[in-house]
Amino acid sequence: MDGSCKHCLKWMWVACFYFEFMLVSAEFQRFQHPVKADGSLSFLVIGDWGRKGAYNQSQVALQMGKVGEKLGIDFVISTGDNFYEKGLATPYDPHFKHSFTNIYSANSLQKQWYSVLGNHDYRGDVQAQLSPILRKIDSRWLCLRSFLVNTEIAELFFIDTTPFVDEYFRNPKHQKFDWRGVIPSNKYLTRVLKELRCALRESVGKWKIVIGHHPISSIGHHGQTKELITLLLPILEAYNVDMYINGHDHCLQHLSSITSPLQFFTSGGGSKAWKGDFDYLDGGGDDEIKFYYDGQGFMSVELTPTNAKIAFYDVSGNVLHSFNSNQLYYTYSTEM
């Protein structure tokens, strides 16, 4: 082999190493999103939805459009499992248009969508769902593994939780997961958690909100995610995170920590729901159950510098549960 060939091979190796390094270590890309002129912010949260309009997905989308217009939302958050049953096959998969573009067509929903991956998304081609090609097809779409959105009064930290779950590696139950960019998982998770700590430590936002697919605390079908309780929850409590928002359980729920102001919200009712599938004994641990609904729906968040208002809606647009942070912090400080 002559010198020029060796030189080419060297730089091919460097390029491959750099690409792999970027896939594994560049977890938290940062985005800026402006608040309204009065300094407030509002957004909707939907999860577990992409079924080409089936299982009331279209009806939920219709009500999201109405609530989005009423609130003048700034963006939409997806908590993952964006495309059933196995994510996207390619960036040009028609599933994307049939389950996203054609469904969330209301004028009020033509805003930026910030999305995380769910376990069903990992069963397809993960790189397809992360591809910038999708943004050319529909400019609203933004899905990355882990990233941060700064909105001045709030910082939102999006975490890729699927690689945290040991069972997906040990006992996938005939399911194939696309682990490219994640293996070795221990190094990947170490970097994600380190980056999250650094980002939370530097955060100056009034509100700190962490979003992931899997629940930390839940009385739904899947219940608690023990790996998140061990690895993620201590970080959220140490840096005074206000809310953890997730999907995965196909329901709407609100649990409140009894040891800190941290609130757990599940918005996983975007399409197929699990009627009657809950476990009061094992799911929520010691956290206080504020609300549980085993049907389809979505969630809204309205933020000002001094207050956070949360509301859950059913498939008909009825408000099922609302929460005001002023009451929480008054109660918590009095009890302490």
Output the domain CATH number for residue 231.
Answer: 3.60.21.10
What is the model's pLDDT at position 326?
Answer: 81
Q: Model confidence at 192, in pLDDT bands (50, 70, 90)?
A: very high
Domain membership of residue 308 (yes or no) is yes
What is the structure's pLDDT at 10? 35
Report whether 221 belongs to an annotated binding site. no
Order of strands, edge to edge, in the sheet holding 207-211?
Answer: 28-32, 146-150, 154-158, 207-211, 243-246, 263-267, 252-256, 288-293
Is 7 within a domain?
A: no
* Residue 118 pLDDT exceeds 60: yes
Residue numbers of the domain that contains 147: 37-334
Domain annotation covers residue 281: yes
In a domain, 114, yes or no: yes
Instruction: Please report which confidence band the pLDDT of residue 328 belongs to, taking 50, 70 and 90 as the band edges.
Output: low
Residue 164 within a domain? yes
Of residues 3 and 39, more confidently modeled: 39
The response to whether 119 counts as a known ligand-binding position is: yes
Q: Is residue 8 part of a domain?
A: no
Q: Tell whether 20 is covered by a domain.
A: no
pLDDT score of 280: 60
d(CA 81, CA 272): 11
pTM attached to this predicted model: 0.89
Is 330 annotated as ligand-binding?
A: no
Lowest mean pLDDT among 3-17, 162-176, 223-237: 3-17
pLDDT value of residue 171: 86
What is residue 79's predicted lDDT score, i.e. its pLDDT? 98
**pLDDT at res. 327:** 62
List CB contacts of 265: < 8 A, sequence separation 6 or more.
45, 243, 244, 245, 246, 253, 254, 299, 310
Q: Is residue 251 part of a domain?
A: yes
Count of domains forming the chain: 1
Looking at the annotation, which residues are catalytic?
A: 222
